[in-house]
Structure 1
Amino acid sequence: MLEKESFKLVVEAIEQLEMGFQGLPEFNSSFELDNLRNVLLEVATRMQDNFPYPHPLYVGQMLKPPHPIARLAYTLSLWINPNNHALDGGRASTIMEKEAVNEIAQMFGWKIHLGHLCGGGTMANLEALWVAGKVKPGLKIVASQQSHYTHERICSVLGIPFVAVKSDRQGRMNLDALKTLLAAGDIGTVVVTMGTTATGSVDPLPEILELQSQYNFRIHADAAYGGYFTLANNLDTKTRAAFDCLKAVDSIVIDPHKHGLQPYGCGCVIFQDPKVGSFYKHECPFTYFTSDELHLGEISLECSRPGASAVALWATQRLLPYTKEGQFATELSKSRKAALTLFEKIQGDDRFLIAFPPELDIVVWTPRATSASAASEIAKKIFASSAQKNLHLAIANLPVEFFINIGAEMKLDQDYLTCLRSCLMKPEHFDWVDDIWQLLQHATDQV
């Protein structure tokens, strides 16, 4: 299951790296190889206690294996272990980070921007909302009920008032509910989710941009999960229109450790207006002295940060450029195609109810039953039965109103349904849809 062939390149790459440090006095690190081997094999044994995340039959949470080039480049960089906080801690990796972030910004149509990598989507969103609070002090931040829970938590940390906006029947921000909130005149920032965690739903950005001209608020796009789908060639018309508008927002967050084929943690925050960098300004008497160039620590809330993340991302972008006709975009489109194929199979089986077609690559459905509570219990049993057959799904509690006309055949004895959920985010998933479907059918038959 685990790809090993590419690892043979590491020794060759280390020898190439070492050539850059010739002329130094020789020294050897002190360790005993047998002791390393014993501990490393113990680690491997302990790590067996995991779900098979790299395998195509794992379709549960948002866990996409890093590309081999990302693993190799990250590993190679650890012989240097650069720190991208300041140039004297990671000269090469700092430049690579700037180039990698620039490529992400260009993917959204931004030639001028300010941004950097960070520990993940949560930290990236924290920085974006921190800047939002500086630009619009004292005003509220709003996001949809289906947005990631960290937005409310981040606002609590920052001391910024937060309001959740009601979602529509497809998990998107409800425009009428947003208009009602905006009418009060105390909204400073609207967070637009470009692919919710639960269902992959995309908020109606074109319409929200129209409201911005009337109410003068900032727009932050949380594209942590869905951002790379701007390169996909098979989005529906409404979703495509939303992604095409991303160049008009004020800030964007994307997680390369999701669809960007990177190891954890690698998040990215970018701002359209570089002048927001003034909010980060600080003095450090012992760090920023090696160069007149901008140190990444001067535009980041984080201090020490792994340059390895930048090296891995840069290498992946070098191998798989962000072009709409390239391999990276093609495989992303295949993930959506896989989701649409599975959606059609589930929709054609009268044992299941499906909420709505997938906008990206997440499919959500629930069993038919006499009541919402009964359907939820059956879903849990199918989840467990599937896992016994090595098909690893996820479950999610979603509002019953996501399932249109459900009240006609199901007693609504609770306001949510426990649903089965699949994230078909691996490039191989399209070729494995039939296997996934057969195992799901067998599990459902057994239940």
Structure 2
Amino acid sequence: MTPDEFRRAGHAVVDWIADYWATLERRPVTSPDPPGALAAALPAGPTEHGEPVDAVLADLDALVAPRLTHWQHPGFFGYFPANTSGPSVLGDLVSSGLGVQGMLWATGPAATELETAMLDWLADLLDLPKRFRSTGSGGGVIQDSASSATLVATLAALHRAGGGRWRRAGVDRRYRVYASTQAHSSVEKAALIAGLGEQGVRPVEVDPETLAMDPAALRAAIEADLAAGEVPALVVATIGTTSTTAVDPLPEIGAICAEHGVWLHVDAAYAGAAAVCPELRWSHAGLEYADSYCFDPHKWLLTGFDCDAFWVADRASLIEALTVLPEYLRNAASESGAVIDYRDWQVPLGRRFRALKLWFVLRWYGVEGLRTHIRTGVALADRFADRVRADERFELAAAHPFSLVCFRLQAGDEASARLLARVNATGRVHLTQTRVSGRYTLRLAVGSPFTTQTHVDEAWELLSAAADEE
């Protein structure tokens, strides 16, 4: 493909994406087709000779798009948002065009330095503790997801807890990791990958009212393990749990971690974006205790997947835990100690130029544009919660401090499950479910920049009408 051919094809692809966004509202949110439908529609193999982009786009329209779950749809209220935006797509396009492999400063000086700057920009935007800045002992890096951030934090915590013995002798299965019963499954997966096994994770009970970690239960678990000769290595606290967006009490948890010398990692994958708004920074109280922290701009900050912002207060522990330097990677810049090599801040060696899409987003929207986006989501969720609260058939199942509303029918679990199935079958909206205190609960998460009051009201009207059938 010559540059001129790329120019013509690129225009066609951008037009296709713009048309896709413009027609999203008219599409069903999820595909009605059964498993295997696309595979059956594809040819058995590639064509003998090349095809024009127009032919590929025609099949994209006819075969692929109708069989997607449309995460950018204004009626997509499932899981947490995973939204992109025009500036993010353009930044990703430039990143792909440049094809930079940014594993070392030497292999992409601007890629490394832009990433460092963007993480400092974000730290300022969220008003994170000063020790997370690259100008001090800490710093930030872009991981692919919060799951990878949790894994990296786990490895760094094990390294510190063992005084470096973890690298030399392998994992000591006496190390323990603590997280609430509401924490993300990535905590358990990280412990498994790190070699601790399932018994290495201590689930900590939550307050039955707030669904946030109970500090007294955490203290009891740590002290019991110490008495048994185990080594408390890591506590994972959550700002915005997956089921209900509960916020763990960081001041109390942090004080316990500081008392016992345990690494505190704070997972704010979804809700961290809310801190761009000063009035929502209450959720970060106690963050000064954290050894590491992450949130996903690819969830609620208009930056396409994958982009997790991860910070450490002491980058030395992270680098010492993960660095491996073969001869073929040695270079003068790295050996000078004057540069950051992000290969030492993650599990893979290779890394994409993800900072470009973040740079495009931050510059296009600016601080006030991002705050408007977050505030709009919170206001729409409040509006929906008010409708739930006012209808005696429904009840709210948990607090809704951000843009997720958890609710259910008073009639019980089976009625709530039938309600979800009916509403999702319309193709107009898509919600997901969880269990809160053992009871079946519906989740409506607002986040798409295409979602307006009209779409939230339509979701309520569909739910209300479907509830009439119970």
TM-score (ref. length: structure 2): 0.78
Distance 2:282 2:351 in 1: 35
Structure with the larger helix share: 2
Question: Is 1:265 the equivalent of 2:306?
Answer: yes
Match of 2:73 among 55, 59, 68: 55
1:189-338 aligned at under 5 Å gives the runs 189-235=234-280, 240-276=281-317, 277-289=319-331, 291-292=333-334, 293-307=339-353, 309-321=354-366, 323=367, 326-338=368-380
Correspondence 1:119 to 2:144: yes
Secondary structure of residue in 2 paired with 1:195: coil
Residues in 2 aligned to 1:90 and 1:48: alpha-carbon distance in whole angstroms? 39
Tell me, in whole angstroms, the C-alpha distance in 2 between the residues paired with 1:114 and 1:424.
Answer: 31
- C-alpha change, 1:96 and 1:33, in structure 2 (3 Å) is farther
The match for 1:83 is 101
Go from structure 1 to structure 2 and tell me whether the alpha carbon gap of 1:167 and 1:273 turns closer, same or farther (over 3 Å shift): same
SS of residue matched to 1:152: helix
Instruction: Note the C-alpha offset of 1:164.
Output: 0.7
Asked whether the 8 Å contact 1:206–1:242 carries over to 2, the reply is: no
Measured against aligned partners, the alpha-carbon deviations of 1:98-122 in whole angstroms (never above 9, x if no partner) come to 2112222333133332331122111
| Cα 1:136–1:175 shift into 2, 3 Å | same
CA distance in 1 between counterparts of 2:452 and 2:278 reads 15
- Aligned to 2:407, which of 351, 354, 365? 365
One-letter amino acid of the counterpart of residue 425, structure 1: G
Query: 2:288 and 2:85 mapped to 1: Cα distance?
Result: 28
Counterparts of 2:299 and 2:180, CA distance in 1: 21
2:383 maps to 1:341: yes
> Are 2:455 and 1:419 aligned?
no
Aligned counterparts of 1:341 and 1:205: Cα–Cα separation in 2: 29
Residue 215 (structure 1) shift: 3.1
Structure-1 residue corresponding to 2:465: 442
Query: Is 1:109–2:129 an aligned residue pair?
Result: yes
Contact 1:343/1:357 (8 A) holds in 2: no
Which one-letter code corresponds to 2:94 in the other structure?
A: L
Q: CA contact under 8 A between 2:243 and 2:436: conserved in structure 1?
A: no
Structure 1 contact 99–314 (Cα < 8 Å) conserved: no
Determine if contact 2:95/2:352 at 8 Å carries over to the other structure.
Answer: no
1:134 matched to 2:189: no
Does the Cα contact within 8 Å between 1:200 and 1:359 map onto a contact in 2?
yes
Asked if structure 1 preserves the Cα contact closer than 8 Å seen for 2:74 and 2:452, the reply is no
Q: 1:242 to 1:216 in 2, by over 3 A?
A: farther
- The 10-residue stretch of structure 1 (261-270 or 288-297) with the greater mean CA deviation from structure 2: 288-297
**Structure 2 contact 294–308 (Cα < 8 Å) conserved:** yes
Report deviation, 1:55.
2.2
The C-alpha deviation readout for 1:141-163, integer Å capped at 9, x for no partner, is 10001100110121021123211
Matched, 1:177 2:217: yes
Instruction: Output the CA distance in 1 between the equivalents of 2:259 and 2:272.
Output: 26
Q: 2:458, 2:206 → 1: CA distance?
A: 34
Among 60, 64, 83, the alignment partner of 1:43 is: 60
1:88 to partner: Cα distance: 4.6
The answer for the alignment partner of 1:71 in structure 2 is 89
Secondary structure, aligned partner of 1:211: helix
User: Shift in Å at residue 427 of structure 1?
Assistant: 4.0
2:434: which partner in 1? 397
Q: Deviations over 1:311-349 (max 9, x none)?
A: 11121122234x4xx221222122122222211210111
> 1:86·1:296 contact (CA, 8 Å) conserved in 2?
yes
Partner of 1:145: 181
Which amino acid letter does the alignment assign opposite residue 299 of structure 1? Answer: W
Aligned partners of 1:119 and 1:305 also within 8 Å = no
**1:83 to 1:6, Cα distance in 2 relative to 1, 3 A:** farther
Report the CA distance between 1:290 and its aligned residue: 6.3
Supply the distance in 2 between the matched residues of 1:117 and 1:349 (Cα, whole angstroms).
43
- For structure 1, the residue ranges without an aligned partner over 5 or more in a row are 8-30, 370-374, 401-415
Deviation for aligned residue 1:32: 8.3
Which residue identity is paired with 2:432? Answer: I
Q: Equivalent residue for 2:191? A: 155
1:171 CA drift (Å)? 2.0
Shift of 1:39: 2.5
Give the SS at the match of 2:148.
helix
- Matches of 1:297 and 1:422 in 2, distance apart? 38
Distance 1:115-1:62 versus aligned 2 partners, 3 A rule: same
SS of match in other structure, 1:151: helix
CA distance in 1, matches of 2:453, 2:49: 45
How much has 1:234 moved relative to structure 2?
Answer: 4.4
Hey, what does 1:14 align to over in structure 2?
Answer: none
Q: Does 1:100 align with 2:139?
A: no
Alpha carbons 1:332, 1:427 under 8 Å: kept: no
Other-structure match for 2:166: none
Task: Tell me, yes or no, if the aligned pair for 2:429 and 2:459 is still in contact at 8 Å.
Answer: no
